[in-house]
Amino acid sequence: MKVPTHHYQCPLGRLQPTVTDLDSVKQRGWRDQNILVVNAEDKRLDYLERELVRRIGERLYGTPRTRHG
């Protein structure tokens, strides 16, 4: 006779955040609200596109802070 094993589910599992697909959030933001979120170092962009994004960001928000770490 086979007894089914009960899979124990930890009560803390409910508190773990769900993983969000950031690309889909960015896509929805662009399509619904015309908000564009672009990483200036995105490898899908060529050099001129990355430079354009960098210049727009610096014009609107100033130069980025350097990361330490």
Q: How far apart are CA 51 and CA 62, in angstroms?
A: 15
Interval 14-69: pLDDT, tens: 787 888 999 999 999 999 999 999 999 999 999 999 999 999 999 999 998 876 65
Instruction: Specify the pLDDT at position 6.
Output: 72
Instruction: Specify the pLDDT at position 68.
Output: 63
Q: Is the model more confident about 56 or about 4? A: 56
Q: How far apart are CA 54 and CA 2, in angstroms?
A: 63
Query: Rounded to two decimals, what is the model's pTM?
Result: 0.63
